[in-house]
Structure 1
Amino acid sequence: MIKPLRNALVAAAVLGSVSQAALAQTPNNGRPAAAKNVVLVHGAFADGSGWRGVYDLLTARGYRVTIVQNPLTSLEDDVAATKRALGRQDGPTILVGHSWGGTVITEAGVDPKVSGLVYVSALSPDAGETTAQQYEGFAPATEFVVDKAQDGFAYVDRDKFKAGFAHDASDADAAFMRDSQVPINLSAFASKLKNAAWRTKPSWAVIASEDKAFDQAMLDHMAKRIGAKVTKVSASHALFMTQAKVVADVIDQAAKQAAAAAK
């Protein structure tokens, strides 16, 4: 066989193999695959255990779910923890944040594995903005009371925890959340973001209509600004735990719809 012809045939065979491999990653006539990975990011004063209900529902549907344990020591530290979790994913991933976790996913969500963002009564600053700026111009929370420690960290007031954070949880669940709080370094709220993933990634928002931590107008404003597809549910700020099915359903929708949006 003439050498140039042989080389051409080899090259064609290689390209054919590459094309088949690519199609395996993008089924349905080459369209991007729906995300099968989900990374959940908790907010301030909480830890990853509150996601258990969402985790159970999503894993039952075949998703691979990873829960980030934020140290809540700084925006940089929480973003680093989230990036480590993203680094373990094997393909398209839906990144989900509750409350302060929304700030974290906004910064970390520029990772190329992230195909969509879900904000669960969550903050969503723009690049160059701080978390604290999101509260400007909106009514302050009246039942959500924070105790500041001398070292710059803060907890939700023990006596007002259920009313302000989780009024729709059982007494036992609210007490456990209250007594297992993870304090957040308040200086994190003054850190400016370098990136705003919602500017390039499709976004969804689940908003608790009885949230006492944020003004409803503030939640509506943030969701509208980022162009999120909004689902409202009657729930407290702890909706990531008390409304697990609603949250899981929205994540499921995001995983399927983000692939279509990427076409």
Structure 2
Amino acid sequence: MSYSKNATIVLVHGAWADGSSWELVIRKLQEQGWNVVTAPLPLTSLSDDAAALRRTIDRTEGPVILAGHAYAGAVIGTAHEERVKALVYIAALAPDEGETVAQVFYRDEPHPDAPKLAPDADGFIWMPDTGFEQAFAQNATDEQIAVTRAVQRPIAVKSIQEPVTAPAWKSKPSWYLIAEDDRMINRKTQRFMAERMHAMMESFPVDHTPLLTAPEKVVDIILEAAQSTLA
């Protein structure tokens, strides 16, 4: 893949996670010769997270493919830089202009096993321990669940209540992986967002976090985006 030499794939984690959630995807992409970095988000507000993503993009050279998981869909939607050639949404939230993450997250009925989420006294939302094995990644191994629980990072209420500006998916090619067995974001909500975006869609019987449990599916859709926009 000659075009991979000067391109970078930037992977963006969602709530209750960090860059290590992409480990299996990173390894598979690097094995194929791609430059890969993750964008560390503070998860303190959507504006803060957008600024953090910009700092990561600024550290790269050449064309960029952005992939975001869950909450990070709203974050990659802020990336209007010309070097960003494609957006890849992995079971991700894609609010439209004027919408908040919370509005699209709660658009459809929750799964019976979805965790009960509420902010703490400091305005941060933590995932309950049982939420990781019951909804966040119910198909993950015990070891993956243990690590994910240990490294979880809470998200501020401000992050999900801040209205977005005009999203980049209105002007950039977009791909969307629909997680059919998602217990965090209703699959009907995912399909609604993907169709509204006019994204190229792939749908699989995977849980909310296929970067852990079905990384080959995630790699395939990222490479499809790269091959379509960088060739």
- With the shorter chain as reference, the TM-score category is over 0.9
Equivalence for 1:67 = 38
Partners of 1:176 and 1:147 in 2: CA distance = 22
**Number of the residue aligned with 1:115:** 85
Q: Specify the alignment match of 1:92 in structure 2.
A: 63
Uncovered stretches (5+) of structure 2, i.e. residues with no partner: none
Q: Quote the offset at 1:179 in angstroms.
A: 2.2
Larger Cα-atom Rg: 1
What residue number does 2:206 align with?
Answer: 235
Q: How far has the Cα of 1:142 moved from its partner?
A: 2.8
Paired residues for 1:1-263 under 5 Å = 36-107=7-78, 109-135=79-105, 137-145=107-115, 146-259=117-230
Whether the 8 Å contact between 1:73 and 1:184 is mirrored in structure 2 is yes
Aligned to 1:17: none
Separation of aligned partners in 2, 1:224 and 1:210: 18
**TM-score, normalised via structure 2 length:** 0.93
CA contact (8 A) 2:144 2:212 kept: no
Judge which range, 236-245 or 91-100, deviates more: 236-245
> 1: CA distance between counterparts of 2:52 and 2:152?
18
User: What is the aligned partner in structure 2 of residue 7 from structure 1?
Assistant: none
CA 1:237/1:136 → structure 2, altered by over 3 Å: closer, same or farther? closer
What is the CA–CA distance in structure 2 between the aligned matches of 1:117 and 1:257, rounded to whole Å? 12
> SS of the residue aligned with 1:73?
coil
Note the alpha carbon deviations across 1:57-109, whole angstroms, 9 max, x for none. 111111110101111111111111110111112111100100000000001x2
Structure 1 residue 40: Cα displacement: 0.4
Contact map agreement 1:206 1:247 (CA 8 A) in 2? yes
CA contact (8 A) 1:36 1:255 kept: no
CA contact (8 A) 2:93 2:105 kept: no
DSSP-derived class of the 1:156 partner: coil
Distance 1:57 1:124, change over 3 A: same
- The letter of the residue matching 1:259 is L
1: CA distance, partners of 2:156 / 2:112: 21
For 1:110, the aligned partner's letter is H
TM-score, structure 1 normalization: 0.82
Stretches of 4+ moved more than 6 A in 1? Answer: none
Q: Compare the two structures and name the one with the higher helix fraction.
A: 1
Q: In terms of mean alpha carbon deviation, does 192-201 or 124-133 score higher?
A: 124-133
**Pair 246,182 (structure 1): closer, same or farther in 2 beyond 3 Å:** same
What is the CA distance between 1:223 and its match in structure 2?
A: 0.5
RMSD: 1.6
Residue 184 of structure 1, CA deviation = 0.3
The separation in 2 between residues aligned to 1:172 and 1:198, in whole angstroms, is 35
Percent identity over the alignment is: 36
